[in-house]
Homo-oligomer: A and B are copies of this chain.
Amino acid sequence: MRTQLELQRLVRERLVQQGQRYTNGRQEIVEVLLAADGPVTLPALLGSRPALPQSSAYRNLLVLEQAGVVRRLVHNTGHAHYELVEDLTSHHHHMICETCGTISDIELATPLEATLDEAFDAVTAAVGFTARHHAIDIYGECAECNPVSGGS
């Protein structure tokens, strides 16, 4: 686990490397993403930091994305979701609740990931596709939307 201070330093470095500043607004965004247990929508981000103006939030998310700090995810949920890139956190996948749209992180066992990587390499190489990374999304219903999973 990386300390928060160390992570902030890494983020600053990546921004500075692009001639960008690590301003207050950008720092707040990173803090929110770090605290969340899954990718966050813009309304959720503004909800937890109401002082952030919408247009600046969108712009700074884009800057952070281009600096390799933030990853943008799009699903059928209306809003895009934003999270810190995996090399600042760790490799994980997503559970998507089809009822409320919430996305939360999960991790698979390392050996299974290795098996998957091999399988993906084999299957993509066969058609000349160069695989760079992968994403697994599990769709269903979260505990809050379906409290009694075995019910009637």
Interface residues of A (CB under 8 A from B): 72-76, 80, 95, 97-98, 104, 106-109, 112, 115-116, 119-120, 123-124, 127-143, 146-147, 149
Contacts and interface: CB of A to CB of B under 8 A. Distances in A.
B137 A134 contact: yes
A105 to B, nearest CB: 10
A15 to B, nearest CB: 22
Contact of A135 (B128, B131, B137): B137
27 contacts: A72-B76, A74-B74, A74-B75, A76-B80, A106-B123, A106-B124, A106-B127, A109-B119, A112-B115, A115-B115, A116-B116, A127-B143, A128-B149, A129-B140, A129-B142, A130-B140, A130-B141, A130-B149, A131-B140, A132-B139, A132-B140, A133-B138, A133-B140, A134-B136, A134-B139, A135-B139, A136-B137
A143 to B, nearest CB: 3
A129 B112 contact: no
Given A73-B76, A129-B143, 5 more contacts: A106-B123, A106-B124, A124-B138, A135-B137, A136-B137
Nearest to A97: B129
A95 B139 CA distance: 19
Contacts of A116: 112, 116
A139 B133 contact: yes
A101 to B, nearest CB: 12
A48 B142 CA distance: 40
